[in-house]
Structure 1
Amino acid sequence: METMGPSSKSKNNILSQIQNLHSEDLPYLERDLCFAEKVSLAFLLFGNTKANNLFALQKLLALYMNQNLVSDILFNFTRENKKNWRFCLIEALAIIKAHKVLRKLGVSKYEYEITFLPYRPETSLSIHPVLKALYFVCENLSQSETQALLCEVRRQIPGNNFNFSDSSFLEIFLLDWMTSSIIEIGEWPDDNSGSKKPNMKIITNFLKVYGKDTLKDILESACKYVSEKNERKEDARLVNDLRNLSIQSQYCVPTAESSSSYQSGTEIDYAEHDIYKLERGNAGFALIINQYEFYEEKDPNLRNLLPESPFKNREGTMKDRDALKETFEKFGYISQAKNNLTHNEILAIIRDYVKKSIIFDSLIICILSHGLEGVVYGSNSIPVKINDIEEILASSKELYKKPKVLIIQACQGTQMQEADTLECDSPMEYLKAIGLIKNESIKNYSKEIKANKLFLGDILTVISTVPGYASFRDKGTGSWFIQSLCKKINNFGHRKHFQDIVTGVINEVSGMKSKQNLCMVPQQRSTLTKSLWLPKI
C-alpha cells in the first residue's frame, strides 16, 4: 500500500530537530549563510510589520557596506518571536534552499520539503503568504526586469529617495517600499502590520505589462488569501458567540425551504467538537478531473485492461465540469479542472493535491469519466480502482482528521441501455445484452477489493450509481447526478449537513426517469467522524 507524506519516523525526526534548536546556536549557523541568503531570510522573517521592516532594512544596509561584520539577524528574530521562531526559521531556510544549514540542523531535504512544501508558492505554514509570493517574484525576475520595476516605482513615487542602487537585492527595495507604505502585505495573522488588506497593485500591474502572468497570479492569489483571512477575523467575535449556541444558530436556522430534514423548532444536538473546522477562504481545493476524449493505451502490458470497443466522447461533461467549478468556488474552494488525464496522471495529480492541502481544512475531488464496478477510466482507457483513490486520501498525513469528499460521475456496471439524447457512461456501450461483460480481465480487475487493507478515515464517497448499473448523462444539459448535486449544494450549502444534501440528491435522482422508463440510484458511503458543513457564503 502506498502512503502519502513523511513517515512517522521522519516526521518525529524533523519535529525533534526543530525543538532541539536553541537561540545560542544561531550565530554559528548564520556564518554559513552568504549575504544574499541573509537578505532573503531577513525579508521573509522580518517583513511582517513596519517596525520589523525598518529594523531588517538597517541591518542589511550595514551588512552590505561591510559584509565582514558579524550578523545577528537570526538571533534578533528569536527575540521578536519567542513562541514560534523555530518553526518560522526552518520554513524560511527551506524556502531559500539553505541546504547546508539545514543539514547541520540534522534535517534532510526530503523531511523539510515534505513538511513545508517550500517550492510551492501557494502554500505557507508560518511565513506570511504574501512575503513568500514576493520572494518568488524576486527569484524569477531577470536583472533587466528588476531594474525596469525599480524605474517604474521611482516614476510613480517620485518622492521616494531610497539611497540604495544594487538591483541584485530586490528584497531590500521591497522592505523599503513596505516601510514607506508603497506596498502593503496585509495583516497576518495577528501581527498588526497596519493594513488588513494587501496592496500590491504597483507590482502586479508591472508583472502584467511585462507578461509575467504566472508571477502575477501567484502574488494575487496570496493577497486574496490574506484578505479573506482578515475578513473572517472581523467576524470572529460573532462566530464565537454563535458557537456557544446550537448548530442552528451557527449555520443559520433552517428556513421553510430547507427544513425538510428537520423538525420545526427542534434544536440540533451537535457540540462544537462534533463539527469539522471548515472556514471560508481556507476550505481547500476542489479538484475536478474531467474526462471527455479517450484513446486506447499502446503499452502491450496494459492492453488486456482495455474495453473491447473504443469509448465514445462524453458529450455534456463540460456542463458538469463548469457546474462543479462554479458551485464549490461559491463556498470558498479553489476550484481547479484538469481534462483528459491518463490512469497514471489521475493518481499522480490526486497525490499532488493531497500534498498541497496541508494548510487547508478539507479536500474535494470530483471525477467525471466512464466507469465499471469499482473503477473509473483514464483517457487512455485504462481503469483506476476507486479503492486506490480512497486509500491515497485515507493514508495522507496532510489531511489527517480532515474531511475528504470524493464525488464520482461514472457507470458502475452495464445494466442499462442508452435512451434518446441520453448517453450511458458505461465502458461497455457495445453490449446489447444487459449485464454481459466479455473482457474477463477488466471484470476481475474491477472486482479486486482490498477490504482488509483499506483503512478509510474521514472520507465521504458519493457515486452517481450503485454497483452493477449505468449512470445517465444528457448531451445538452449534463448528467442527472452532477446537475442535481450542484443545484442542492447551491440551495442548501451551509444550511444542511453535507450528507443530508447528498441524501436529497439520491432522493431526487432516483425519482427521475428517461423516455424509456429507465432510472438510476446514486450511492454514498462515509467514514466521516464529524458533521460536515460547507462554509457560510
Structure 2
Amino acid sequence: MGAMLSNENNDDYLQDSSYSEDEENSTNEAPHRRISPIYDKIDLTNNICLDSPTDTTDAAPPTATMATTLTVDQVMVVEDHLDIFEKVSLVYLLYDNPAVALKLLTKLVNGSNDKLIHNWTIFQNIKKSKWQEELEEALYIIQNYEVLRMLGFAKTDLDVKFPPHFCFDKIYVNKIRKVLYRLCDAFDSTDGENLLRLVHTDFQKKGFNFTVYNPEYLELYLLHWESLGYIKQDNLSNLCNILNVMEQLDWCDVLKQLFPAVGTRVSEKTKTSTLFSFQSSQSTQISVDKNANYDTIEKYDVDPKSPGVCLIINQEYFYREIEPDLQRKRSARFLVELAPAPTAQKMQLLNRSQERSG
C-alpha cells in the first residue's frame, strides 16, 4: 500500500522485531510500492456507485469484453514476476480468511518462498469457477498492467470491464477489502503513522493486544484487526472513528455511503466513547491543575446557571455574491443543527439574520 513508514521511529508500535536492518540492506531489497494513479481520478464526495445513500446491493459483474482464460500453471509463472508488495496486496484482496492470510503473509515478509497466489488458485479451482475473474480484478486493482498484458489482457478492455468506480463495488473481489486497500494505498507515511498510533491507543483502551508488524505492509495490520473483530464486514465504526480524528472526512463519507450502518453506529457511540469523547460537547471537561499559578485578580467567576451568550449570525446572503447558484442556501439548516450545543450548556442563544447587503 501507499504508506511507506520509517523504521527509525522510536514508537514501539511502529517497530517490527522481525524486520532487521540487515534484511533491509540486503541485495534482495524489495522495490518501493507504486501508487495507483487511477484512484486520483475518483471524486470521493460523489455518490459513488450507489443509487441511493442506503443502497448496499453489490453491483452485478460487468459484461466482459474478452474471455478470461487463465490456468493454474500460468499463475505459477506470473507469481515469479510479482514483487513482495504486490504479493502481499494480492493475498489481502484474495484470501477470505483473515487469520490464515495473516499467518501466511507474516512468513512471506520474513523470507518464505511459499507460492501463496498459486496455492490460492489451486484451492479456488476446486472450490469455484470464478477465480480467474477474481484474480484478474485484483491485478487490475493493484495496477500491475505488465502481468495482465502477459496474460493476454489489453488495458483498454480492462478499463471498460472495470470502470473507475468499480473499486467501491463488489464485482469479484470483496468490497470491504477493496475499499480498505484503496484507503491505505492513498496514505502517505505520515498518515500511516497516525493511523497506527491512534489504533494503538484505541486498542489499549479496549483491552486488545496490539501486534506489531513491518509498517510498510499495512495489509498485515488490517488483517490482524479484522481477525480480532476490530474491523468487521458489517461494522467499520471503529475505523471510521479513527479517520474522523485523522480528519480524513472524505473517507468517512465514503464508508458511510457504502456501509450506511457505519454512520449509525458512529453516532450512537460518540456519546459514550472514551477515546473520542471530545466529539460530544456535553461530555467535554477541562482539567485544571490545583497547583497551577495564576493571578486571582484576573479571575472571572462564571455563573453555571448563566455562563454566557452564544450569538449565531445567520448570514444567508454574502456581500459580493449575486449569482443565485452560488448563494448559500443551507444556513437555516445549520442554525437548527448548531442550536442544541450552546443550549445544552445553558447559554443564552441569540440569532441575528443577515439580510442581503450591497
Residues 94, 118 of structure 1: 8 Å contact kept: no
Tell me the equivalent position of 2:111. 66
Taking the aligned partners of 1:73 and 1:37, their CA distance within structure 2 comes to 11
Cα drift, residue 169 of structure 1: 1.2
Residues 169, 175 of structure 2: 8 Å contact kept: yes
**CA separation of 1:12 and 1:155: change in aligned 2, threshold 3 A:** closer
1:130-279 correspondence to structure 2 within 5 Å: 130-158=176-204, 159-185=207-233, 198-224=234-260
Cα drift, residue 167 of structure 1: 1.6
**CA separation of 1:162 and 1:78: change in aligned 2, threshold 3 A:** farther
- Residue ranges of structure 1 left out of the alignment (5+ in a row): 1-10, 186-197, 228-311, 319-537
Paired positions, count: 206
Q: What SS does the aligned partner of 2:235 have?
A: coil
Residues 184, 200 of structure 1: 8 Å contact kept: yes
Tell me the equivalent position of 2:298. none
Taking the aligned partners of 1:118 and 1:31, their CA distance within structure 2 comes to 28
Tell me the equivalent position of 1:32. 81
Q: Greater relative contact order (Cα 8 A, min sep 6): structure 1 or 2?
A: 2
Q: What SS does the aligned partner of 1:83 have?
A: coil
Taking the aligned partners of 1:83 and 1:175, their CA distance within structure 2 comes to 25
Residues 149, 206 of structure 1: 8 Å contact kept: yes
Residues 76, 115 of structure 2: 8 Å contact kept: yes
Taking the aligned partners of 1:74 and 1:218, their CA distance within structure 2 comes to 33
1:314-393 correspondence to structure 2 within 5 Å: none
Taking the aligned partners of 1:22 and 1:43, their CA distance within structure 2 comes to 21
Taking the aligned partners of 2:199 and 2:222, their CA distance within structure 1 comes to 11
Cα drift, residue 117 of structure 1: 2.4
**Bigger proportion of residues as strand:** 1
Taking the aligned partners of 2:245 and 2:260, their CA distance within structure 1 comes to 20
TM-score of the aligned structures, taking structure 2 as reference length: 0.51
Q: Can you list the C-alpha shifts for 1:135-166, whole angstroms capped at 9, x where unaligned?
A: 11111112222122222222222344454332
Taking the aligned partners of 1:166 and 1:36, their CA distance within structure 2 comes to 12
**Correspondence for 1:22 among 65, 71, 78:** 71
Q: What SS does the aligned partner of 2:259 have?
A: helix
Q: Report the residue type matching 2:130 in the other structure.
A: N
Q: What SS does the aligned partner of 1:126 have?
A: coil
Q: Can you list the C-alpha shifts for 1:164-203, whole angstroms capped at 9, x where unaligned?
A: 3322111110101111111102xxxxxxxxxxxx211121
Taking the aligned partners of 1:100 and 1:32, their CA distance within structure 2 comes to 9
Q: Report the residue type matching 1:156 in the other structure.
A: D
Cα drift, residue 12 of structure 1: 6.3
Q: Report the residue type matching 1:180 in the other structure.
A: L
Give me the CA root mean square deviation.
3.2
Tell me the equivalent position of 2:57. none
Q: What SS does the aligned partner of 1:29 have?
A: helix
Cα drift, residue 93 of structure 1: 0.9
Q: Which has the larger radius of gyration?
A: 1
Taking the aligned partners of 2:212 and 2:146, their CA distance within structure 1 comes to 30
1:79 aligns with 2:127: no
Taking the aligned partners of 2:116 and 2:93, their CA distance within structure 1 comes to 15
Taking the aligned partners of 2:94 and 2:262, their CA distance within structure 1 comes to 17
Q: Percent identity?
A: 27
Cα drift, residue 210 of structure 1: 1.7
Q: What SS does the aligned partner of 1:157 have?
A: helix
Q: Report the residue type matching 1:134 in the other structure.
A: L
Tell me the equivalent position of 2:102. 57
Cα drift, residue 223 of structure 1: 2.0
Residues 27, 72 of structure 1: 8 Å contact kept: no
Residues 57, 176 of structure 1: 8 Å contact kept: yes
Residues 117, 123 of structure 1: 8 Å contact kept: no
- Residue ranges of structure 2 left out of the alignment (5+ in a row): 1-62, 264-322, 330-358
Q: What SS does the aligned partner of 2:119 have?
A: helix
